[in-house]
């Protein structure tokens, strides 16, 4: 005589109806689309992360250069002056001449004789 000990559930292969196959095909197509979208999203995220990391590295380099040279780039007011036949750029904070070049004909044109 046979006695039922228990009823369990197991995952077994079953034949699908045409409607079930069609539903799975649609789900497969959607899942492939989802994969492509996720891969593109992750690619963009990696590019953003790489860009942020590059920005940090550039800042580290800038800071290290300032520490070593004991100077840092800053916006400084300058005065552009015509001195004889030359144009000079002079820092207004220190009075230092930072650049000298020959004056252009246009720059010289406004001068009166004897200046």
* Structure-model confidence comparison of residues 109 and 45, the more confident one: 45
pLDDT tens for 73-94 read 999 999 999 989 999 999 999 9
pLDDT mean over 35-48: 98
What does the CA dihedral 104, 108, 114, 115 come to, rounded to 10 degrees?
Answer: -90
Q: What is the CA radius of gyration of the chain?
A: 38
Domain locations in the chain as residue ranges: 15-73, 78-109
Residue 108 φ/ψ, nearest 5 degrees: -80, -20
pLDDT mean over 3-25: 95
The residue with tokens 């940090």 is: 56
**From edge to edge, which strands make up the β-sheet containing 78-83?**
78-83, 86-91, 97-102
* Structure-model confidence comparison of residues 115 and 61, the more confident one: 61
Confidence of residue 65 (pLDDT cuts 50, 70, 90): very high
Residue 112 reports pLDDT greater than 70: no
């Amino acid at each position: 005589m046979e006695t039922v000990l228990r009823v369990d559930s197991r995952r077994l292969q079953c034949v699908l109806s045409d409607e079930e196959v069609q539903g799975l095909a649609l789900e497969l197509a959607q899942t492939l689309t989802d994969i492509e979208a996720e891969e593109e999203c992750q690619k963009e995220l990696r590019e953003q992360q790489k860009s942020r990391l590059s920005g940090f590295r550039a800042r580290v380099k800038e800071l290290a250069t300032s520490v070593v040279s004991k100077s840092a780039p800053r916006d400084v007011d300058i005065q552009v002056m015509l001195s004889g036949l030359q144009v000079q750029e002079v820092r207004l904070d220190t009075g230092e001449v930072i650049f000298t070049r020959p004056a252009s004909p246009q720059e010289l044109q406004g001068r009166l004789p004897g200046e």
